[in-house]
């Protein structure tokens, strides 16, 4: 999978997760959802960029594998 395609898929996954968790955790008041979900949606591209273009997935995978070796 290309880097851009991986970025888009990661960003869509983050956005879906933010909307679902935000709608379950926050009150149904539209104003509170906008004020809390909007900043999360604006920071999601930063995390997606770090995971795809700065080898964040490899770092996370290495951390999981090192935890498995310690057992």
pLDDT in tens, 13-34: 999 998 899 889 888 888 988 8
Which residues form the domain of 55?
Answer: 3-69
Q: What share of the chain is helix, strand, coil (3-state, %, to 5)?
A: 85, 0, 15
- Assess contact for 32 and 26: CB atoms under 8 A: yes
**In the 8-state DSSP scheme, what is residue 55?**
-
Number of domains in the chain: 1
Averaged confidence pLDDT in the chain: 84
- Note the pLDDT of residue 8: 93
C-alpha span between 23 and 31 (Å, rounded): 12
């Amino acid at each position: 999978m290309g880097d851009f395609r991986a970025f888009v898929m990661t960003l869509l996954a983050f956005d879906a997760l933010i909307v679902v968790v935000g709608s379950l955790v926050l009150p149904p008041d539209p104003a509170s959802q906008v004020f809390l979900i909007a900043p999360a949606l604006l920071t999601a591209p930063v995390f997606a960029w770090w995971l795809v273009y700065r080898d964040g997935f490899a770092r996370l995978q290495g951390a999981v594998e090192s935890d498995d070796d310690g057992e």
